[in-house]
Amino acid sequence: MKDSRDIIIRPIITERGTEEMGEGKYIFEVSIDANKPVVKRAVEDLFKVKVVKVNTIVVRGKRRGFGRFSGMRKDWKKAIITLREGDSIPLFEGV
């Protein structure tokens, strides 16, 4: 089993994400092979909060080109975490 720090890669801070923080929802990029129970356990271990719900989305990589060379960006997984009312993640405070 992977360490919790290997599951949660980085927080996703966007305009929509900051609006959802008021509703107790936080967005993270997670490992592509992580499932919902693993993501839930990782967030609870790292931030000492109670997770109510986890939604995951696989974001497909875009085609990119540079001159005559073309390629693809890698696929990645996004997780939207809903916390128990009253809980918050201090990492996102002040954003």
SS3 at position 11: strand
Reported pTM: 0.86
Contact 49, 89 (CB under 8 A): yes
Question: Running along the chain, 95 residues long, what does each successive block of 10 average in pLDDT?
Answer: 86 91 93 95 94 96 90 95 91 66
Q: Would residue 67 be called left, alpha or beta, if left means φ above 0 and alpha means ψ between -120 and 50 degrees? A: left
Question: pLDDT tens digit string along 55-82?
Answer: 999 999 999 988 888 999 999 999 999 9
